[in-house]
Structure 1
Amino acid sequence: MGVGTRLAAAAAMTATAVLLAGGTAASAAPVPATATARAAAGAAVTFQVASASPALAPTPFTAPGRRLKLGAKGAAVKALQTRLRELGYVPGKIDAKYGGTTQSAVWAFQKVQGITPTSTISSRTWNALENPKAPKVLVPSGKPDRVEVNLTKQIAVLYDEGLVKLITHISSGSGIPYCETAVWQGREQRFCGDARTPTGNFKTTWRRPGWHKSYLGQLYNPIFFNGGIALHGALSVPLYPASHGCVRLPMHVAEILPGMLGTGVPVHVRGKFRR
Structure 2
Amino acid sequence: MGVRRRLAAAVVLTAGAVLVSGGAAGAEQTGPLARTGAAAAGHVVTQAVAIPAAPVTQARAAKPFVAPHGSLKLGAKGAAVKELQSRLRELGYVPGEIDAKYGGTTQSAVWAFQKVQGISPTSTIGNRTWRALELPKAPQVLVPNGKPDRVEINLTKQIAVLYRAGQVRLITHISSGSGIPYCETAVWQGKTQRFCGSARTPTGNFKTTWRRSGWHKSYLGQLYNPIFFNGGIALHGALSVPLYPASHGCVRLPMHVAQVLPGLLGTGVPVHVKGRFQR
Give me the TM-score of the superposition, normalised by structure 1.
Answer: 0.90
Alignment correspondent of 1:108: 112
Please say if 1:273 is aligned against 2:277.
yes
Q: How does 1:132-171 map to 2 (within 5 A)?
A: 132-171=136-175
Contact 1:231/1:247 (8 A) holds in 2: yes
Q: Name the structure 1 match of 2:25.
A: 22
Change (3 A) 1:8 1:206: farther
Matched, 1:47 2:50: yes
Q: Which moved more, 1:1-10 or 1:154-163?
A: 1-10
SS in 2 for 1:115: coil
Q: Write the mapping of 1:32-181 to structure 2, written as runs, cut at 5 A.
A: 33-36=35-38, 39-41=45-47, 45=48, 47-49=50-52, 50-53=54-57, 57=61, 59-181=63-185
Q: Is the alpha carbon distance of 1:270 and 1:46 closer, same or farther for their aligned partners in structure 2, counting shifts above 3 Å?
A: closer
- SS of the residue corresponding to residue 16 of structure 2 reads helix
Cα distance in 2 for partners of 1:54, 1:149 equals 23
Q: What residue ranges of structure 2 are gaps of 5+ in the alignment?
A: 27-34
Name the SS of the counterpart of 2:111 in structure 1. helix
The answer on whether the counterparts of 2:49 and 2:96 sit within 8 Å (CA) in structure 1 is no
How far off is 1:65 after superposition? Answer: 2.5
Moved over 6 A (4+): none
State the 1:46 CA deviation. Answer: 5.4
Paired residue secondary structure (2:46) = helix
Question: Does the residue aligned with 1:71 lie in a helix, a strand or coil?
Answer: coil
- State the 1:22 CA deviation: 2.5
| 1:40-95: CA deviation from partner (whole Å, max 9, x where unpaired) | 33xxx451325213996462100002200000000000000000000000000000
Cα distance, 1:8 vs structure 2: 3.8
Shift of 1:182: 0.4
User: Is the partner of 2:110 in helix, strand or coil?
Assistant: helix
Structure 1, unaligned stretches of length 5 or more?
Answer: 24-32
- Kindly provide the CA deviation profile for residues 113-144 of structure 1, in whole angstroms up to 9, marking residues without a partner as x: 00000000000000000000000000001000
Mapped partners of 1:96, 1:166: distance in 2: 21
Report the CA distance between 1:17 and its aligned residue: 3.6
Q: Give the alignment's Cα RMSD to 1 decimal.
A: 2.2
Matched-pair contact (CA < 8 Å) for 1:58–1:87? no
Distance 1:46 1:252, change over 3 A: closer
Matched, 1:212 2:220: no
| Counterpart amino acid of residue 24 in structure 2 | A
Asked if 2 retains the 8 angstrom alpha-carbon contact of 1:108 and 1:169, the reply is: yes
Whether contact under 8 Å (2:49, 2:256) holds in the other structure is: no
Q: How many residues matched?
A: 262
Question: Structure 2 CA distance, aligned partners of 1:55 and 1:249?
Answer: 24
Mapped contact 2:59–2:91 kept (Cα < 8 A): no
Conserved? CA contact 2:181–2:198, under 8 Å: yes
% identical equivalent positions? 75
Aligned counterparts of 2:92 and 2:109: Cα–Cα separation in 1: 9
Q: Is the 8 A contact 1:220 1:234 kept in 2?
A: yes
TM-score, structure 2 length as denominator?
Answer: 0.89
Q: Is the 8 A contact 2:46 2:255 kept in 1?
A: no
- C-alpha deviation, 1:7, in angstroms: 5.7
* Structure 2 counterpart of 1:29: none
2:46 maps to a residue whose letter is A
User: Structure 1 counterpart of 2:37, which letter?
Assistant: A
Retained in 2: the 8 A contact 1:70–1:120? yes
